[in-house]
Amino acid sequence: MSARTKRTYSLRPETIHRVRELAARYGTSQDALVDTAVERLDRTLREEAETSAWAAAAHDPEFVAESSQIAAAFDEPDRWPE
């Protein structure tokens, strides 16, 4: 188990109520619930950033040309690892 640090946050009463309610519903601690929520939010934001980067790359002529060259290099079936 990783080290824990006690923190104090100022949350709206509605948020506190939801954290308590969700922790009780899912049979977990409030700390574990907040850990999971923060990890999920972080993962979602990173995935959105990566999606945006790939979308931008699709419109970058240099990237498109380079990826086309790479695809052509592996165009033959015998060039793929088995």
- Residue by residue, pLDDT tens for the chain (82 residues) are 678 899 899 999 999 999 999 999 999 999 999 999 999 999 999 999 999 999 999 999 999 999 999 888 888 767 666 6
| Vertex 34: Cα angle to 32 and 20 (nearest 5) | 85
- pLDDT at residue 80, rounded to an integer: 62
pLDDT at 74: 81
Determine the residue type at 52. Answer: S
Report which of 32, 30, 8, 34 is spatially closest to residue 20, judged by C-alpha positions: 30
